[in-house]
Amino acid sequence: MKYTSTRNNSLAVSSSFAIANGISEEGGLFVPEKIPQVSKEFIGELAPLSYKERADKILPLFLTDYGEDEIKGYTSAAYSDNFEGETPAPVKCLRRGVSVLELWHGPTCAFKDMALQLLPYLLTGAAKRELGGKQSVILVATSGDTGKAALEGFKDVDGTKILVFFPDRGVSPMQKLQMTTQEGNNVGVSAIEGNFDDAQTGVKAIFTDPAVKARLAENNMSFSSANSINWGRLVPQIVYYFSAYADLIKQGVIENGDKINFTVPTGNFGNILAAYYALKMGLPVNRLICASNENDVLTEFLTTGRYNRVRKFHTTVSPSMDILISSNLERLIFHLLGDDSDETKKLFASLSENGEYTVSEELLGKIKSVFAAGCCNDAETVETIAKTYKENRYLSDTHTGVAIRVYNDYAERTGDKTPTVIVSTASPYKFSKAVLGALTGGCFKSESEFDMVSELEEITGIPAPAPLRGLKGKTPRFTGVCKKEDMRKEVYGLLGIEG
Ligand SMILES: *Cc1c(COP(=O)(O)O)cnc(C)c1O
């Protein structure tokens, strides 16, 4: 199976090439040329299997140049006791006809672990084949969750080094502590003076600097990318949509062949795009419901066909969804245009030049036949967390709170009774302040992050995940704050190269 690019559909490369390189040369995203199809029997056979075994059935359909045994080795390492509990992606009943797929039992307590625990293996395997065994250097600019998940995934992985930059004043106290206490011999973490855009711009500049690339090449190293446009981040996410469906069969909630809905709290459109690939492979899906916070650019696009990033940016209680440019949407549009890269290129040129694009009525029709969309503000999110806890004894984080709210509105508006899975993307304890505030009406006994975790535990009787509890009292290992112009020096320092 070959991969092509959303901006040059004459390209045909292997999955290893796509994963090792991250993004195509002309700026397009790698996509599968043909989407593999599965039968009803195939899906039925997943029901008795473990998560790892389900992954072993699905991943080889896309990663045809990896050996099946190679993949089995990778999934054994990625989906084992680094996830708390019996399975990495449990499905729990919220209320009759509505379930929750929890994707946050990994080492960093957010759904990005589902992909980033596996990606380092996929990447080093690919680098052996495609980059002549050069050492992979991963640079990440993060606004919070991605940085920590990438660090945990790549720590002590042979043949890799990882350096994460985060904005000094742009991450939550818990997120900062998670990163600055990171263990591992191949990792570096640095705060930078400035905001997330400064970190992102700095990383991009280094990534594309020919002088830096040449220095790396002299030292038998090469840059790779762990961000969410890498196909190696998307393909592991397809697995849990099948896994959730298989669990619903096992639980007797549905019969094989019944259609279900998924509601996904969305930012960069990676998670929900994986659901779309699952649907296109043959998973019986009725609607994909895209949930946004006050940054409602996707709600507008999916309902009107106009994407307009020129709007106010809102900082919300669900920060991982505070995004105005959803990069992975480009893949959906390419597919809906019948894999037309010329047309895709035009739309995205318009986005970067004019800040907007509008798709045809025909394409909007195709979107609406699969997607529904909605958004809510912080007050509605917090109200929903409180209500869901009170009525269903289910404690959700803020991102999941957005999804529950948007689904409830959707169900009321449409009367759709299709069994629905709400995708839960983070532990409530990762956003303790907002979640505790939702339950106490905004009263806090203490402003300390760990006191809030303890109070939330006392009120709900639900223990915080071990990786977050374990942070208490840990001494930060990376305390440096570097200036924007010193980021290159930091990179050379970590790699042990003279600058
Ligand atoms: C990254 C993230 C999201 C958004 O996922 P996308 O794939 O970017 O749409 C939602 N919730 C949490 C907790 C996240 O970390």
Q: State the Cα–Cα distance between residues 304 and 364, nearest whole angstrom.
A: 7
Q: State the Cα–Cα distance between residues 58 and 56, nearest whole angstrom.
A: 6
Which of 171, 268, 328, 397 for mutating ligand 1's site (highest number of atoms within 8 Å of CB)?
268
Please, which residues have CB within 8 angstroms of residue 364's CB and are 6 or more apart in sequence? 304, 305
Work out which ligand 1 atom sits closest to the CA atom of 266.
9
Work out which ligand 1 atom sits closest to the CA atom of 426.
13
The 3-state secondary structure of the chain reads CCEEECCEEEEEECHHHHHHHCCCCCCCCEEECCCCCCCHHHHHHHCCCCHHHHHHHHHHHHCCCCCHHHHHHHHHHHCCCCCCCCCCCCEEEEECCEEEEECCCCCCCECCHHHHCCHHHHHHHHHHHHCCCCEEEEEEECCCHHHHHHHHHHCCCCCEEEEEEEECCCCCHHHHHHHHCCCCCCEEEEEECCCHHHHHHHHHHHHCCHHHHHHHHHCCEEEECCCCCCHHHHHHHHHHHHHHHHHHHHCCCCCCCCCEEEEEECCCCHHHHHHHHHHHHCCCEEEEEEEECCCCHHHHHHHHCEEECCCCCCCCCCHHHCCCCCCCHHHHHHHHCCCCHHHHHHHHHHHHHHCEEECCHHHHHHHHHHEEEEECCHHHHHHHHHHHHHHHCCCCCHHHHHHHHHHHHHHHHHCCCCCEEEEECECHHHHHHHHHHHHHCCCCCCCCHHHHHHHHHHHHCCCCCHHHHCCCCCCCCCCCEECHHHHHHHHHHHHCCCC
Residue 333: per-residue pLDDT: 98
Strands 8-13, 3-5: pairing kind: antiparallel
The structure tokens listed for 243 are: 């896994």
Question: Per-residue pLDDT for the chain (499 aa), expressed as one digit of tens each?
Answer: 999 999 999 999 999 999 998 889 888 999 999 999 999 999 999 999 999 999 999 999 999 999 999 999 999 999 999 999 999 999 999 999 999 999 999 999 999 999 999 999 999 999 989 888 789 999 998 877 899 999 999 999 999 999 999 988 778 788 899 999 999 999 999 999 987 778 888 888 898 889 999 999 999 999 888 988 899 999 999 999 999 999 999 999 999 999 999 999 999 999 999 999 999 999 999 999 999 999 999 999 999 999 999 999 898 999 889 888 888 999 999 999 999 999 999 999 999 899 999 999 999 999 999 999 999 999 999 999 999 999 999 999 999 999 999 999 999 999 999 999 999 999 999 999 999 999 999 999 999 989 999 999 999 999 999 999 999 889 999 998 999 899 999 999 989 987 6
Compute the residue count for the chain.
499
Name the β-bridge partners of 99. Answer: 93, 421
The structure tokens listed for 380 are: 């509605």
Please, which residues have CB within 8 angstroms of residue 227's CB and are 6 or more apart in sequence? 22, 140, 146, 233
Which of 399, 404, 423 for mutating ligand 1's site (highest number of atoms within 8 Å of CB)?
399
Our answer on whether the CB atom of 267 is closer than 6 Å to any ligand 1 atom is yes
- In this prediction the pTM is 0.95
Write b or e for each residue in 187-208: b if 16 or more Cβ atoms lie within 10 A of its Cβ, otherwise e: bbbbbbebebebbbebbeebbe
Domain chopping of the chain, boundaries: 89-111+232-430
430 residue type, one letter: K
Work out which ligand 1 atom sits closest to the CA atom of 271.
7
Our answer on whether the CB atom of 420 is closer than 6 Å to any ligand 1 atom is no
Residue 200: per-residue pLDDT: 81
Which of 228, 295, 320, 381 for mutating ligand 1's site (highest number of atoms within 8 Å of CB)?
320
Contact 305, 357 (CB under 8 A): no
Our answer on whether the CB atom of 265 is closer than 6 Å to any ligand 1 atom is yes
Please say if 92 is a catalytic residue: no
Q: State the Cα–Cα distance between residues 395 and 392, nearest whole angstrom.
A: 9
Contact 124, 241 (CB under 8 A): no
The structure tokens listed for 101 are: 């797929």
> 322 C-alpha vs ligand 1 centroid, how far in Å?
9
Work out which ligand 1 atom sits closest to the CA atom of 112.
15
Our answer on whether the CB atom of 145 is closer than 6 Å to any ligand 1 atom is yes
Answer left, alpha or beta for residue 22, where phi above 0 means left and psi between -120 and 50 means alpha: left
Work out which ligand 1 atom sits closest to the CA atom of 237.
7
> 127 C-alpha vs ligand 1 centroid, how far in Å?
27
> 271 C-alpha vs ligand 1 centroid, how far in Å?
7
The architecture in CATH of the region 89-111+232-430 reads 3-Layer(aba) Sandwich (3.40)
Catalytic residue among 52, 57, 112, 176: 112
Q: State the Cα–Cα distance between residues 160 and 153, nearest whole angstrom.
A: 11
Residue 499: per-residue pLDDT: 65
CA distances in angstroms from 183 to 126, 329, 364, 477, listed in the order given: 25, 34, 47, 8
CA-only gyration radius of the chain, Å: 22
141 residue type, one letter: A
The structure tokens listed for 216 are: 């790396």
Contact 323, 268 (CB under 8 A): yes
Residue 259: per-residue pLDDT: 98
> 219 C-alpha vs ligand 1 centroid, how far in Å?
35
Q: Which of 441, 344, 435, 324 is nearest to 385 (CA)?
A: 435
Q: State the Cα–Cα distance between residues 194 and 415, nearest whole angstrom.
A: 47
